[in-house]
Amino acid sequence: MSAVTDILTKIDTKINAILDDPDSIASYRLGDKQVSRSQILERLTELRKTYQAIAEKEPYEDIRHVALDFDEFGVDESEYIGDEVI
């Protein structure tokens, strides 16, 4: 898994945590100080869009299994499961 998909997973986890407990992002004011925690969801959504665009541009090849094989004449008959057959 690439670093970009790891970051996307973390962002999704944070977004899901906020959706499960929306009270955790309530904005409040203490005297002359204001905490605007409601912007967290907006920022996470913006970050997710940015990293999703990066992930779509990143080259990706899904090879889950490699079966190495050679015939009696030494011709490579290896299979890469998850790739297109040429």
- 86 residues of the chain, pLDDT tens digit each: 468 888 999 999 999 998 888 887 878 888 888 877 778 888 999 999 999 999 888 776 665 656 777 778 888 777 655 555 55
Cα separation, 74 vs 11, whole angstroms? 48
Q: Which helix (H) or strand (E) holds 33?
A: strand 33-35
What is the model's pTM? Answer: 0.59
Phi, psi of 54 (to 5 degrees): -65, -40
Cα separation, 81 vs 63, whole angstroms? 6
- Sequence ranges of the domains in the chain: 3-81
